[in-house]
Amino acid sequence: MAVESFDLIVIGGGSGGLAAALRAARHGARVALLEPKELGGTCVNAGCVPKKAMWFAAQMAEAQYIAVDYGFAEKPGKLDWPRFIERRNEYIDHIHGSYQQSLDKSHVTVIRAEGRFIEPHRIAAGDRELTAPHVVIATGSSPNRLDKPGFDLGVTSDGFFALREGPRRTAIVGSGYIATELAGVLRALGSEVDMFVRGRLMSGFDEEMSYQLGDEMTKHGIAIHYTCQIEAVHEKDGVLLLDCDKGSHPGPYDLLIWAVGRHANTASLSIGNIGLVTDEKGHIEVDEYLNTSVPGVYAVGDVTQHLALTPVAVSAGRKLADRLFAGARHAPLDYTNAPSVVFSHPPLGTVGLSEEQARARYGDEVHLYKQSFVPMQLALAQRPMMVRFKLICVGDESRIVGMQMLGPGIDEILQGFAVAIRMGATKDDFDATLAIHPTSAEEMVTMGDRVPG
């Protein structure tokens, strides 16, 4: 078998892998990209993109009720799931085509096969054998499975995106991004939703804001069970019944979604052949420059221990390619100031430190500013969903080290403020900024006195 030589082999065609491959090719590198499935990885095919499409559909469903409150005579209608899914899939197919066009234009060799290490710089891909001085692992992650009786009677997030009609009654096990977001979508689209949560929602976020999100979701009609852990699942007469560790039997449900975390996709890589080091959760360990324990082998995206966010993977892939093929100085990513939004109902956003993280780092230097209000659009409809803003500041100059936001519209508001916080903005900078009136965003630059404590 003839061995094909490249400058870079990228294993995985998700966000991070595509970013690395295309940027390296732009610098003149000969690149092979290995991906057996659809281009775009989890984000495009079973994550960010279809999730956000469903979130928009849920927003439209809720907007109908707001319109009626405003005085429009039409009654709210139900979502035509098959029609919407067709639109969603058309959009995703367009993304696939756009990626393929970019790869073709950049002369990236796309191989529709999994990659497996023979040696550190020697990769088997189906019936082909490749070699390159640089190899990037970007194989992403997959939903976790639990060793519980009846687990397969439920679905993971992948199964949610395969739905072609809305369930009447849904149980969701989990408390992170996926569980929280899907609960809001399904409730807005008419499903009765029960969540079974260990601890609290969004445990990595600011504690106060997480509990406030739970309160708003409860007002939205979502039942959140904090003291029942699901031990088993049973099917009876076409519906699902659950066994709780407290002895109760929640149900019946038409759909059960397991949203209990994700694991790195490394099983098919034969990483044992090269002695690659992983952490206790199975993520490939990398340093701040994305080097693994094996020289010339790198990793980006969800397969690593870093933040599992698409923009993080894209930035990492590009920075790595710039360093390897353009001689650029690779400045490590600033994960501290990575903004993130949970597309819940209402959405929850964060950039910088939570209050707990800030107090652990800065102690008594931390002080807070808070603002709560009903946005004008909902006040007119007499729907009192609150927007909550929280600034976490330190020192005499009140440098802003964290911003937390909860409420309608914050997903679009946060990005600009993230720039300011990354640049070291202070509370005085916010106070000196003229407001745009009337908006929700203006409340961020018109906050009053410090919160005591």
Catalytically annotated residues: 437
Cis bond before residue 339 (omega within 30° of 0): no
Of 120, 142, 138, nearest to 19 by C-alpha is: 138
From the list 6, 59, 24, the residue with the least C-alpha distance to 347 is: 59
Q: Which residue has the tokens 């009053």?
A: 448
CA dihedral sign of residues 204, 209, 214, 217? negative
Give the largest CA-CA distance in the chain. Answer: 73
Nearest to 304 by CA among 312, 99, 296: 312
CA–CA dist 197, 91 (Å, integer): 33
Of 82, 109, 91, the closest CA to residue 5 belongs to 109
CA dist list (Å): 375 to 65, 270, 387, 388: 16, 53, 7, 10
Q: Look at residues 329, 352, 332 and name the one whose alpha carbon lies nearest to residue 419.
A: 352
β-strands 3-5, 366-373: how paired? unpaired
Pairing mode, strands 399-406 and 297-299: unpaired
Q: How far is CA 250 from CA 7, 83, 439, in A?
A: 56, 33, 43
Among candidate residues 325, 328, 198, the one with its CA nearest the CA of residue 259: 198
DSSP 180-231: HHHHHHHHHTT-EEEEE-SS-SSTTS-HHHHHHHHHHHHHTT-EEESS--EE
Q: Rounded to the nearest 5 degrees, what angle is found at the Cα of 392, between the Cα atoms of 386 and 396?
A: 140
Tokens 């560790």 -> residue:
245
Q: Rounded to whole angstroms, how far apart are CA atoms 18 and 452? A: 48
- Measured in whole angstroms, the distance separating CA 321 from the mean position of its chain's CA atoms is 24
User: Which uninterrupted H or E stretch holds 179?
Assistant: helix 177-188
User: Which two tokens mark 150?
Assistant: 């009846």
Report whether the peptide linkage leading into residue 347 is cis, meaning its omega lies within 30 degrees of zero: no
Which residues, other chains included, contact 272 with Cβ-Cβ below 8 Å and sequence gap of 6+? none
